Amino acid sequence: MFYRITWLALLSLLRRNDKDVIKIYDIFGDLMKTTTGGNMLNFGYWDKEVKDPFEAQIKLTNMLGTFGSFFNAKNILDVGSGYSIPALKWLAEYPNLNLCCIDINYNQIIEGMHLLKENHKLKQETLRIFSVINLENRLFHINSTSTFLAVKNDTMDRIVAFESAHHFRPLKQFMREARRILKRLGFLVIAIPVIVNNSQGSRLTNLKDLGILKITWASEHYELEFVKSLIEENGFKIDEIRLIGSSVYQPLASYYLKNRTHIRNIILTHYPNFLEVIINKSMSRMKRASENGVIEYALFRCTKY
């Protein structure tokens, strides 16, 4: 275990390819599950009602569904779907929806499918799988990369990349695929961590200060303006950009710092002490980066014309 974690820390400093991203999520996914008690892999949206990370993740999942007008969609492609928990939540919320989950990580796809099969049997409250009518005919899985999607042209009403597009390389190729697959007037919906205020310091300083994001963020650290221009260059019209970083990074870090003793004890049952020390430090850095306006969390809704 020690070597796996050291290797993870090293990987976070190096340039990464898709295989490295898969390995990082094999380890990081377990860590997230251990600390949150659930199977979602996003940072969550924290408002006054939210009490823990899982509630924040549910809130962000719901927010994305509303933001992306899922209520009047029929077919959705979720690229970078993780363990398919956001997909299950959307299917429970919108009864007319069919959803196809795509992820590059085979283990996550398999575990997502397993959760589906066992859905009715699961009693474990922390998994909190939602009750979905006719699930087996509405949810599908593909193990694939974001840049070559085995989906027919002009078939989807929505394509969603929920905290996953920062891993896609080249991001341009994903945009092209999204444009090909979406129906006319369909929406591309992206939730993505971005760098904003790069002019205030050297790029190196900013990257050092990314905190916990440095562990999961691929070597391309996309800037807000870059993502905007890429979307427009690839034939989409941006309808709305919502910047929610202050309700994502800062409260998550505050939650960690406030509950550190408890979370530390959970982490130490599976991981070495030094990993918790790194996480703790990274949380403070991430909070500072957000307060200083270096990082943002952007929601994009874009129409294909």
Instruction: Categorise residue 235: left if φ over 0, alpha if ψ from -120 to 50, beta otherwise.
Output: left
Q: For residue 80, state whether it binds ligand SAM (rule: CB under 6 A).
A: yes
- Contact code string over 185-204 relative to ligand SAM, x by CB under 6 A: --------------------
Closest to 267 in 3D by CA, of 255, 256, 252? 256
Q: Which of 35, 75, 145, 290 binds ligand SAM (CB under 6 A)?
A: 145
Phi and psi for 246 in degrees, rounded to 5?
-70, -20
Q: Which residues contact 139 (CB under 8 A, 6 or more apart)?
A: 84, 87, 88, 91, 98, 99, 100, 101, 116, 132
Contact window for ligand SAM (CB under 6 A) among 65-73, 121-129, 148-156, 164-172:
164-172
Q: Which of 46, 97, 103, 280 binds ligand SAM (CB under 6 A)?
A: 103
Quick count: other Cβ atoms within 10 Å of Cβ 118? 11
Token pair, residue 139, equals 């949810």
Q: Which of 16, 158, 167, 301 binds ligand SAM (CB under 6 A)?
A: 167
Q: For residue 168, state whether it binds ligand SAM (rule: CB under 6 A).
A: yes
Q: Which of 12, 16, 25, 188 binds ligand SAM (CB under 6 A)?
A: 25
Handedness of CA 260, 265, 266, 270 (dihedral sign): positive
Residue 89 CA to residue 206 CA, distance in Å, equals 35
Smaller CB separation from ligand SAM, 178 or 185? 178
Q: For residue 18, state whether it binds ligand SAM (rule: CB under 6 A).
A: yes
Please report, as ranges, the residues that interact with ligand SAM according to CB under 6 A.
18, 21, 25, 40-42, 79-82, 85-86, 102-105, 108, 145-146, 162-164, 167-168
